[in-house]
Amino acid sequence: MGVMTRWLDPDEQRTWRAFLAATRGLMENLDRELQRDAGMPHAYYEILVRLSEAPERRLRMSELADVTGSSRSRLSHAVARLEDAGWVRREDCPTDRRGQIAHLTDAGFATLAAAAPGHVEGVRRHLFDALTPAQVTQLRRISETLVDHLTGS
């Protein structure tokens, strides 16, 4: 208590507000496009992507939660929904009776394969096409720094 607040100076203020507007707008565009073209939100798309990259297209729920940066609860609800759609199936883990393994079905893979080109195009259009190569590098360094900082604190 008693410590004066270090308010944002005008430059920081401007940076923060632009950052908010940019990330919000970007994610809203991608989310809307993905919902329209593939019938799923971006968070669900990410789950399918990570599963598709895993050995045998299988991943423990906890690992899947980690790599997608999702809470266990959120993942649980999401996978339930993806299972309803027939894109993912849950299996018991042979080595840990608590565990569940999420498995991307063929139908799920096909849906992902159909959605991916449009989505990648969207990422390009809304993000990479707007930036110079130098800015892309800067954005990568900044993002990686922030990820380290977030997980480190």
Partner DNA sequence: GGCGGTTAGTTGAGAGTTCAACAAAACCGA
Partner DNA sequence: TCGGTTTTGTTGAACTCTCAACTAACCGCC
In the complex, which residues of this chain contact DNA (CB under 7 A)? Answer: 28, 31-32, 35-36, 40-41, 43-44, 60-62, 65, 70-81, 90, 93, 96-101
What SS3 state is found at 117?
Answer: helix
Query: Closest Cα partner for 71 from 59, 79, 62?
Result: 62
> Residue 106, interface with a copy of itself (CB under 8 A)?
no
Q: Are 65 and 71 in contact (CB under 8 A)?
A: yes
Least distance between a copy of itself and beta carbon 128 (Å)? 6
Q: Is the dihedral of CA 107, 74, 142, 30 positive or negative?
A: positive
Both structure tokens of 73: 């609860």
> Residue 117, interface with a copy of itself (CB under 8 A)?
yes
Distance of CA 110 to the CA centre of its chain: 19
Segment interacting with a copy of itself (CB under 8 A) among 33-41, 56-64, 79-87, 123-131: 123-131
Tell me which residues touch a copy of itself (CB under 8 A).
Answer: 5-8, 11-12, 14-16, 18-27, 29, 46, 69, 116-117, 120-121, 123-131, 135-151, 153
